[in-house]
């Protein structure tokens, strides 16, 4: 048993010392000032926010989603819309207890994408905190 533990420890140490270095990546993007205002019939919702890539000035975005597919605007997919260098789309899902909207925010010049998501409760309450979201390069 002692030999097994020793061999295991040696294997772990060898693996750790030969691991490939991590590749540097862009900073997380922060989606700031998120708000959504829907009209009384829920036929149109306007989202406003800024995309902060932490490398340059934040880019303001106004994003309008119309009711579609028999769903109210607050539960409909939207886009694409262009906000500066970003192309933005969204989709709503109700597969869990609380529904949520996920955005795809794509930087068309750097070929990077983030997927900010917000649940219906936090959006309806109007108290959405500025949150960082991981950025990745899409694999084609």
- The pLDDT of residue 104: 98
The more confident residue out of 124 and 136 is 136
pLDDT tens figures, 78-124: 999 999 999 999 999 999 889 999 999 999 999 999 999 999 999 98
The more confident residue out of 1 and 104 is 104
What is this structure's pTM? Answer: 0.79
pLDDT tens figures, 5-36: 443 344 444 444 444 443 446 799 999 999 99
Domain positions in the chain: 29-136
d(Cα 17, Cα 5) in Å, to the nearest integer? Answer: 18
pLDDT tens figures, 37-63: 999 999 999 999 999 999 999 999 999
- The pLDDT of residue 15: 40
Length, in residues, of the chain: 140
- Phi first, then psi: give them for residue 11, nearest 5 degrees: -65, -40
Residue 66 has pLDDT above 60, yes or no: yes
Contact assessment for residue 91 and residue 79, using Cβ atoms and an 8 Å cutoff:
no
Nearest CA among 114, 121, 69 for reference residue 88: 114
């Amino acid at each position: 048993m002692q030999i097994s533990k020793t061999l295991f420890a040696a294997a772990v140490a060898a693996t750790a010392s030969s691991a490939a270095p991590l590749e540097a990546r862009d900073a997380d993007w922060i989606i700031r000032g998120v708000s959504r205002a829907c009209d009384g019939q829920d036929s149109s919702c306007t989202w406003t926010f800024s995309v902060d890539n932490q490398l340059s000035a934040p880019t303001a975005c106004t994003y309008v989603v119309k009711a579609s597919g028999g769903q109210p605007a607050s539960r409909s997919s939207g886009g694409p819309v262009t906000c500066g260098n970003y192309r933005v789309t969204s989709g709503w899902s109700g597969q869990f207890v609380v529904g949520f909207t996920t955005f795809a925010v794509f930087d068309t010049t750097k070929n990077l994408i983030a997927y900010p998501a917000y649940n219906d409760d936090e959006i309806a309450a109007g108290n959405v905190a500025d949150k960082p979201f991981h950025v990745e390069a899409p694999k084609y």
